[in-house]
């Protein structure tokens, strides 16, 4: 596996946890698939090997981890079409116009009805920590993806002082 899009961050204090300690801390934020009414789920998965492998791969003094994000795919056009259909049905049956607030309520109902049937999309974000060099390297093309992974890492470690490398 090769990293394609690197985002580099400088650790502002020494990174202390070993691979075993980091794996233990990541266990609390392990990946679980989206529930029927959840839009997204994000957690740690093993970077190499099977699902029973450790969540941290240690090699040559570096620690590698992988975050997996699963999102429900509900196209806006599908939601809008269903809201319009339900609004037209109400207008026809009750001979009145449907206002903005009621359309918002209809949209929420449509989302709750369609979420359990929605497809899911999954992606992985890999990262490694080089404690001796004081670097965190995240393999993602977007700053948002990097921030999601860093937030998950901070949640697992309780603190992670770093700043983008310039």
Q: What is the pLDDT of residue 97?
A: 93
Q: What is the pLDDT of residue 162?
A: 93
Nearest to 38 by CA among 147, 112, 104, 145: 112
Q: What is the pLDDT of residue 2?
A: 77
Per-residue pLDDT at 14 exceeds 80: yes
117-164 tens-digit pLDDT: 999 999 999 999 999 999 999 999 999 999 999 999 999 999 899 999
Please give the backbone phi and psi of residue 15, each rounded to the nearest 5 degrees, phi first.
-90, 115
DSSP state of 30: B
60-87 tens-digit pLDDT: 999 999 999 999 999 999 999 999 999 9
Q: Which residues contact 121 (CB under 8 A, 6 or more apart)?
A: 70, 71, 73
Give me the residues paired with residue 139 across strands.
6, 126
Q: What is the pLDDT of residue 51?
A: 80
Per-residue pLDDT at 165 exceeds 90: no
Q: What is the pLDDT of residue 50?
A: 84
DSSP state of 96: S
Please give the backbone phi and psi of residue 52, each rounded to the nearest 5 degrees, phi first.
-90, -5
Question: How confident is the prediction for the chain on average, in pLDDT?
Answer: 94
Cα three-residue angle 58-157-121, rounded to 5 degrees: 75
d(CA 68, CA 122): 7
d(CA 111, CA 95): 25
Mean pLDDT of 37-58: 92
Per-residue pLDDT at 1 exceeds 70: no
């Amino acid at each position: 596996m090769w990293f394609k899009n690197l985002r580099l961050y400088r650790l502002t204090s020494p990174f202390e946890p070993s691979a075993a300690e980091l794996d233990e801390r990541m266990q609390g934020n392990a990946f679980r698939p989206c529930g029927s009414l959840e839009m997204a789920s994000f957690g740690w998965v093993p970077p190499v090997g099977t699902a029973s492998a450790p969540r941290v791969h240690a090699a040559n003094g570096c620690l590698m981890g992988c975050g997996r994000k699963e999102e429900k795919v509900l196209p806006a056009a599908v939601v809008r079409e269903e809201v319009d259909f339900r609004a037209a049905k109400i207008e026809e049956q009750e001979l009145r116009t449907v206002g903005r607030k009621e359309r918002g309520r209809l949209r929420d109902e449509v989302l709750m009805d369609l979420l359990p049937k929605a497809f899911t999309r999954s992606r992985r974000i890999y990262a490694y920590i080089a404690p001796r060099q004081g670097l965190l390297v995240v393999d993602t093309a977007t700053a948002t993806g990097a921030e999601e992974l860093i937030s998950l890492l901070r949640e697992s470690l309780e603190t992670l002082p770093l700043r983008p490398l310039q």
